[in-house]
Amino acid sequence: MEYDYYILFNTHTNGLMLANKLKENNIKYTIVPTPRQLSKCCGIAITYALKDEKAILDIIDKSAIKVSGLHSLERKNIDIKFI
Amino acid sequence: MADYRELWQKLGMDLEKHDVLCEVLPQLYGGVYLSQENRPEGMNYYNFVVSEVHGLRIKELDDHKQQGGKVVGTFCIFVPDELILAAGAIGVGLCAGSQFWIEDGERVLPRNICPLVKAFTGAKLSGTCPYFQSCDMIIGETTCDAKKKAWEILDEYVDTYVMDLPQMKREKDYKKWAEEIYDLKDKLEKLTGNTITEEKLHEAIKLCNRKRKALQRLYNARKALNVPISGKDALLISQIAFYDNPERFIEMTNKLCDELEERIEKGISINKKGDKRILISGTPMAVPNWKIHHIVETSGAVVVAEETCTGTRYFENLVDETPTTMDGMINALADRYLKINCACFTPNKGREEDIIRLAKEYRADGVIYNSLQFCHTYNIEYAKVEKALKEAGIPVIFIESDYSNDDIGQIQTRVEAFLEMIGQ
């Protein structure tokens, strides 16, 4: 089974701050809409590779950036349906 | 996670219905956009905008309104953004690219009209688009019969002002359009309580030109043989240009273009050797209408340009910045906007020439002529365009579609056959 890894935030400002830090540290990340399985509110999340998790946690610890949790979701192939 | 529900409630939205939209959008975006390989890093900004599409920007509009500012909605690239900005208002291009709003649109409109008109009407009636809900006034225009009559219905729900766009390009039509722009100036001044001064209008002209130049730079990057960005991503950027903060959009798009130009130099590409290069021509694609691009780019081709209102028609030709008097600037606006070759004009030879020129500039292997269902002007104009393209030796296919999923398989088959044919 494959998983995707997400960092959630309580404000987009914290998300953008962390994105900048990850960029400075050459850690690959992608800003994505928060999956509904993880939160009912719209907004940004960040996906990352599991191998970078420790380094990311270190960056978060050493900064004033607040995250509302790290999560993983099983990757599923879903048929694309336009809305 | 920021909670915007209070804000949405204040805007009179149907939260329960809106929640259905919120639920499906991340999944659709994930499938269409995030599944792409080798995307430029700069796309993170646009991922951010989409993630906050009904959040941060709506909060910015609300903050502006709290300070006494006005928000004005538009639906067409003939409406000059410059005047809205010069009046101190914020302009937002209103989305109408979703099947989600069709049912509500059909409550007051006939079924056999174009999905874009049904969708924007349904978006207002259903109270599920926070951009629409934020608008103090909307500016319609007379680019088609369906829109003309829909404005009368929408006016019952939101203050609707209509610009009368001439449908020919004679000298007197330019004069008439300049008069219409003057009338809009008066209307916006009344709405906002702000005077549109020569200085403010000149600043706004320069700002909108900078936005056009950023988009021109983005499109220029797509002319490279090793295409540095997918058509889907470029389409998304164009769509976002209609509602994002203009200064921020220009800054982030120029940053992305730095990266794209670096990619071209380094030979980094999103396409594989042998992928066909496609020019899409036709009707606008409003958020979240990514259907044709997705089909094309999952069939072994790359979309290199769009001759559409959400493509080159939006940013080609700058407004002349030389005039500084009110008359001079209004005439410069009229001149620039009437250069747009929309199918609502007769005759419209300029559009045939545009498509041939763009096909050559972007080194397209073929053209997909895409028209929304029941869009008479674009549907009818295909005959002329097809003839002109055939004479120029450019392969073309006609696809008429709406926002539903019903015809995806059928379109995919036709696109694949077309790509195979142009490969021979």
Could you write out the DSSP letters of every residue in B32-88? Answer: IIIT-SS--TTHHHHHHHHHTTTTHHHHHHHHHHHTT--EEEE--TTS-HHHHHHTT
Query: Sorting pLDDT into bands at 50, 70 and 90, what band is A36?
Result: confident
Which residues in chain B are closer than 8 Å to A12, comparing Cβ atoms?
2, 48, 51-52, 55-56
Mean pLDDT of all residues belonging to chain B: 97
Domains in chain B with CATH codes: 5-201 (3.40.50.11890)
Interchain pair A16, B23: CB under 8 A: no
Interior CA angle at B113 toward B108 and B119, to 5°? 60
Question: Distance (Å, rounded) from C-alpha B73 to C-alpha B92?
Answer: 5
Q: Is residue A78 pLDDT above 90, yes or no? A: no
Q: Is residue B421 pLDDT above 80, yes or no? A: yes
Counting Cβ atoms within 10 Å, is residue B155 exposed (0-12), middle (13-18) or buried (19+)? middle
Q: How far is B307 from chain A (nearest CA, A)?
A: 23
Could you write out the DSSP letters of every residue in B222-262? Answer: TTSSS-SS-HHHHHHHHHHHTTS-HHHHHHHHHHHHHHHHH
Task: Name the more confident of B271 and B322.
Answer: B322
Q: Is residue B1 pLDDT above 60, yes or no? A: no
Query: What's the pTM?
Result: 0.97
Interchain pair B289, A82: CB under 8 A: yes
Q: Which two tokens stand for residue B138?
A: 């909307």
Which residues in chain B are closer than 8 Å to A43, comparing Cβ atoms?
1-2, 51-52, 55
Q: What is the pLDDT of residues B241-274, one digit of tens each?
A: 999 999 999 999 999 999 999 999 999 999 988 8
Mean pLDDT of B403-411: 96
What's phi and psi for B216, nearest 5 deg? Answer: -65, -40
Q: What is the pLDDT of residues B201-218, one digit of tens each?
A: 999 999 999 999 999 999
Is the ipTM value over 0.90, yes or no?
Answer: yes
Taking CB atoms and an 8 Å cut-off, how many pairs form between chains A and B? Answer: 101
Q: Dihedral, CA atoms, B349, B353, B356, B358, nearest 10 degrees?
A: -130
Mutation site, B1, B296, B404, B412, interface A, largest A CB count within 10 A? B1
Q: Are B157 and B125 in contact (CB under 8 A)?
A: yes
Which residues in chain A are closer than 8 Å to B21, comparing Cβ atoms?
83
pLDDT for residue A73: 94
Interchain pair B99, A34: CB under 8 A: no
Which residues in chain B are closer than 8 Å to A77, comparing Cβ atoms?
none
Q: How far is A77 from chain B (nearest CA, A)?
A: 9
| Strands across the sheet containing B366-372 | B301-307, B276-282, B366-372, B396-401
pLDDT for residue B2: 66
Q: Which two tokens stand for residue B205?
A: 């002209």
Q: What is the pLDDT of residues A38-60, one digit of tens each?
A: 887 668 999 999 999 999 999 99
Q: Which two tokens stand for residue B413?
A: 């088959």
Q: What is the pLDDT of residues B28-64, one digit of tens each?
A: 999 999 999 999 999 999 999 999 999 999 999 999 9
Q: Which two tokens stand for residue B80?
A: 């000059």
Could you write out the DSSP letters of every residue in B276-337? Answer: EEEEEEES---TT--HHHHHHHTTTEEEEEEESTTTHHHHSSPPP----SHHHHHHHHHHHH
Q: How far is A43 from chain B (nearest CA, A)?
A: 5
| Dihedral over Cα of B373, B316, B150, B59: its sign | positive
Question: Does B102 reach chain A within 8 Å, measured CB to CB?
Answer: no
Which residues in chain B are closer than 8 Å to A68, comparing Cβ atoms?
1
Q: How many CB atoms lie within 10 A of CB B149?
A: 13
Query: Sorting pLDDT into bands at 50, 70 and 90, what band is B124?
Result: very high
Mean pLDDT of B340-349: 98
Could you write out the DSSP letters of every residue in B11-41? Answer: TT--HHHHHHHHHHHHHHHIIIIIT-SS--T
